[in-house]
Structure 1
Amino acid sequence: PGSLLVGWEFAKGVSLSAGIPLIPVNHLEAHLFAPFLDFEGKVDFPLLGMVVSGGHTLLAYSPAPYDFYLLGQTRDDACGEALDKIARLLGLPYPGGPHLEKLAEKGNAKRIDFPKKILPQSYDFSFSGLKTHAVRIFQSGKYKVEDLAASFQEAVMDILVDKLDYAVETLKVGTVVVGGGVVANKRLRKKLDEFSRKRKIPLLYPKVSYSLDNGAMIAGLAYFKYLKGVEFSWREDIDPSFNLERWKR
């Protein structure tokens, strides 16, 4: 995107003119770092990370600080994208996720059954089936939109927590970290807290202001990478499709 290119060239110019370091940061890694912006406790590794946003839904494994390996990701829609699409179906304004959450507070999350055990023995996600089911329910006209919103949201959140549960069951995990815009959802935060207590495992997520895209998470991660001694090469370039699977530093 043009905005990314403009920002990149501006940052290089500031770095050159001011003689200060330019630290490369992966946007997805920054989301996983966001919970640590105001956290002062001890983190036990290996770390299990989950990014939940409008553009990404993935699980990553970190055996040591700053080293992330992709475990699984969505095979179709991201969870935030699915929430936005159903919100639009219900006539809610953009961004749909927060408006769907408010509508869901007025509904019964147990009123409509959704398939929830999707790809049960996999680290990958899929939300297209839920979305298709929601469209059919809406078109039938048999249920209140509040109940549809609540039931759909609950199904999405259950899938996210189930994937965490599967990963914790099959991997050695010391701490769980969740980042991304969807973690601003109050229902998800409650379910994550319940999961942490049930599994007796530390689970961190950022405060709401650090959940959405923000400069603090980028700057914070860059600072710690600077302390680690990460070096910048002028041969590096922006990559809008860059993912954690290729990020090994």
Structure 2
Amino acid sequence: MTTVQDTARPVGALVRRWRERRRISQLELSSQTGVSTRHLSFVETGRARPSRAMVLRLSESLDVPLRDRNHLLVAAGFAPAYPQEPLDSAAMAPVRAALRQVLDGHSPNPAVVVDRTWNLLDANAAIGVLVAGVSPALLEPPANVLRIALHPDGMAPYIENFGEWRAHLLARLRRQVEHTGDPELAALHTELLDYPCDQDDPAVEVPGPGVIAVPLRLRHEGDELTFVSTVATFGTPLDITLAELVIESFYPADRATAETLARLAAHT
């Protein structure tokens, strides 16, 4: 993500920064975009100004997030190309309806919708099983699902494999920071690292015998519930808000968990 300071940088410096973040050479980028290495070098050093079409082509090839493509366009002297409609706007009504259909369709399994910084935007009723012991303060808007998961007043005391789950979430967030360069996500990662953990924290995600995914093993009212999660996004978004929405769903990893979820849903 481009910071406030970055918006004052020449477009060439921003292009070079994204190219280096993606760890590709000017030659590779030239091959992908059809822009000569000589012209790319001139753009990055400020000796040439890219056209609007070239900025968009380079952004697409470098997999630059939509909000940062706008920053590149502005830095090059052009108007932003990508809108950012509030989720509660009239234009986003079909999106809200789709989200509600997905969330309700996942019941009795928990599911949440988050934004790019992991703030909770919506959830289904089944999320109550995950946050049953969480401090109300952590659930106050804007509630952040990673804080809820890893804070000692959140889910942490109830997660049986907390070290493993913590390592999984931190690695996932770290990869997101590396991909986007987002300073808000970097600050969140630093904050979460400071939360205490009294279990072994694996340095890498290596499966044990018979393990196919990192599970979430949660104590709930004397039972141990085991989940695997899936992540979904909207396809081919052209709006920043839409591009940054993520739906995460938790599915039972064993029959006992499925039966408990069904029982809890029947009593709500």
What is the TM-score when the length of structure 1 is the normalising length?
A: 0.26
Largest Rg, 1 or 2: 2
Query: Which structure's relative contact order is higher, taking Cα pairs within 8 Å and 6+ residues apart?
Result: 1
